């Protein structure tokens, strides 16, 4: 605490004069050279100046004037540094304001900028994040980590129990890289790697279970704000093993569509010859953030089909069709124009674990969950599910591991 002294500084050759708005000594002057042998306020000031700048070799303090000699003369930075020492003579410590603390933590932790945001609805964003360093090479379908500090405000009124140490840490979550696939203005496919990385993000609101920590903070941000984005992209949910004439089926729920679209874009860019089907299931039509782009892609490429299933629109009353139903009813095979067969077919599953229905294994025997999922349906038809390092033709990415 203590007040800051107002200082006017003037350098003349090797000597700088610092005029202050209060007296530091009486009318008797004090001269100091290294090392300082005496005590008191003038001696303390001289010692601080000597510690601040090894080139200062003499200090004189008289009333409200301090003069210091510096071998080699003074530049602006040296003069400002010495003036700061004089100005803070009576400051024992200064409390950091909350705004100053937040900005300090942002500068220390954030390495990317929210370049732009397409707010599809109040809870669904497509965001582009540009890292400070060039985007590392990654495979379509892989993910990276986004983060914001716990010190950032929330977009809801949920109460968090955070201690001082926790408020200075980061809330992080993994997100698959997304893709809009096509430029809606030119109709051209987007390049594989752009300076900014696209993400498909839904705001999780407080409810049953653990309190979401990242998206309530993210949804307070605007284009130009800073954020953390990991430089590491990883994941085995990729197009490895897919041949140019294979049938590729993407099945997802909600924002699980993100990696599917990135892999779709890669297949189309590479001239994939086999059929590509992309089925996504959401509650309402408003939850389809990529519908316009998908319709353009479907119109341009004869081997691509996009199917959007909704479960809570009025027309769905007593007639809900989930992805499992879409397969078992034969609608998927009708769209393909052929039986659903494991030979030459890859199925990619991303989203709700209940839709995926990933089994546990009793040695080589799968034990499927009580709710019948796609894995069980496909296993019964001879498909092989990815397991450990063994690559099958059913690939999965569980999107609901943790709340965000």
Cβ pair 152, 248 in contact under 8 A: no
pLDDT at 95: 62
- Is-contact 199 129, C-beta < 8 A? yes
Give the pLDDT of residue 388.
81
Q: Do domains 99-229 and 247-398 have the same CATH topology?
A: no
Give me the architecture of the 247-398 domain, per CATH: 3-Layer(aba) Sandwich (3.40)
Distances (CA, A) of 161 to 167, 207, 212, 287, 376: 10, 16, 13, 32, 41
> Which residues are bridge partners to 10 per DSSP?
17
The SS3 assignment for 298 reads: helix
Dump strand ranges (E) for 203-239.
226-229
| Model pLDDT, residue 354 | 95
| 127: β partners | 117, 199
Residue pair 218/150 in contact (Cβ under 8 Å)? The answer is no
- DSSP annotation of 236: S
Q: What is the pLDDT of residue 356?
A: 96
The 3-class secondary structure across 132-201, one letter per residue, is CCCCCCCCCCCEEEEEEECCCCCCCCCCCCCCCCHHHCEEEEEEECCCCCECCCCCCECCCCCCCEEEEE
CA distances from 371 to 107, 146, 150, 392 (A): 47, 32, 36, 22
pLDDT, position 403 = 43
User: Would you state the pLDDT for residue 165?
Assistant: 87
- pLDDT at position 92: 64
State the Cα–Cα distance between residues 196 and 135, nearest whole angstrom. Answer: 7
| Cα three-residue angle 104-106-109, rounded to 5 degrees | 110
Confirm or reject CATH 2.40.50.140 for domain 99-229, answering yes or no: no
DSSP state of 203: P
Mind listing the pLDDT tens digit for each residue in 323-354? 999 999 999 999 999 999 999 999 999 999 99
Task: Output the six-digit token pair for 32.
Answer: 């100091």
Q: Which of 348, 360, 287 is nearest to 323 (CA)?
A: 348
Model confidence at 399: pLDDT above 80: no
Cα–Cα separations (whole angstroms), residue 111 to 46, 150, 193, 252, 340: 40, 16, 19, 31, 46
* Residue 400 scores a pLDDT above 80: no
pLDDT level of residue 364 (50, 70, 90 thresholds): confident
Q: Is pTM beyond 0.85 here?
A: no
Query: 7-87 in CATH: which number?
Result: 3.30.1370
Residue pair 73/47 in contact (Cβ under 8 Å)? The answer is: no
Chain segment 243-272, per-residue pLDDT in tens: 999 999 999 999 999 999 999 999 999 999
Determine the Cα–Cα distance for residues 121 and 126; give it in Å rounded to an integer.
10
Which residues are CB-neighbours of 30 under 8 A, at least 6 positions away?
Answer: 42, 43, 46, 60, 61, 62
Q: What secondary structure does DSSP assign to 337-358, as a single string?
A: TS---STTEEEEEEE-HHHH-P
So where are the chain's domains?
7-87, 99-229, 247-398
CA proximity to 248, closest of 228, 227, 224, 268:
268
The pLDDT, as a whole number, for residue 93 is 56
């Amino acid at each position: 605490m203590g007040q800051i002294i107002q200082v006017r500084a003037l350098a003349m050759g090797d000597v700088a004069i610092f005029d202050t708005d209060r007296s530091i000594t009486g009318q008797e002057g004090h001269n100091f050279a290294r090392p300082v042998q005496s005590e008191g306020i003038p001696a303390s000031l001289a010692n601080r100046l000597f510690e601040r700048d090894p080139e200062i070799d003499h200090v004189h303090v008289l009333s409200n004037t301090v003069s210091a000699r510096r071998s080699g003369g003074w530049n602006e930075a040296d003069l400002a540094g010495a003036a700061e020492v004089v100005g803070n003579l009576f400051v024992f410590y200064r409390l950091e304001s909350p705004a100053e603390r937040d900005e300090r933590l942002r500068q220390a932790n954030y390495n990317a900028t929210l370049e732009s945001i397409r707010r599809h609805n109040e809870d669904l964003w497509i965001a582009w994040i540009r890292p400070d360093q060039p985007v590392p090479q990654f495979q379509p379908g892989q993910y990276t980590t986004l983060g914001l500090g716990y010190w950032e405000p929330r977009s809801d009124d949920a109460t968090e129990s955070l201690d001082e140490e926790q408020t200075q840490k980061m809330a992080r979550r993994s997100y698959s890289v997304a893709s809009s696939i096509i430029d809606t203005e030119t109709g051209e496919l987007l390049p594989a790697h752009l300076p900014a990385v696209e993400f498909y993000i839904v705001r999780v609101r407080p409810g049953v279970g653990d309190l979401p920590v990242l998206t309530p903070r993210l949804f307070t941000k605007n284009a130009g704000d800073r954020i953390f984005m990991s430089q590491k992209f990883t994941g085995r949910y990729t197009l490895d093993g897919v041949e140019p004439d294979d049938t590729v089926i993407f099945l997802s729920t909600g924002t699980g569509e993100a990696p599917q679209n990135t892999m779709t874009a890669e297949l189309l860019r590479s001239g994939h010859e086999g059929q590509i089907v992309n089925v996504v299931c959401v509650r309402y039509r408003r939850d389809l953030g990529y519908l316009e782009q998908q319709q353009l892609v479907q119109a341009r490429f004869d081997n691509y089909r996009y199917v959007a299933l909704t479960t809570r629109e009025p027309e769905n009353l007593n007639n809900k069709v989930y992805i499992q139903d879409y397969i078992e009813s034969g609608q998927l095979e009708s769209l393909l124009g052929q039986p659903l067969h494991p030979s030459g077919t890859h199925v990619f599953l991303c989203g709700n674990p209940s839709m995926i229905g990933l089994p546990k294994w009793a040695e080589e025997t799968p034990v499927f969950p009580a709710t019948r999922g796609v894995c069980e349906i496909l296993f019964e038809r001879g498909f092989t599910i990815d397991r450990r390092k063994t690559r099958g033709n059913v690939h999965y990415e569980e999107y609901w591991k943790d709340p965000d």
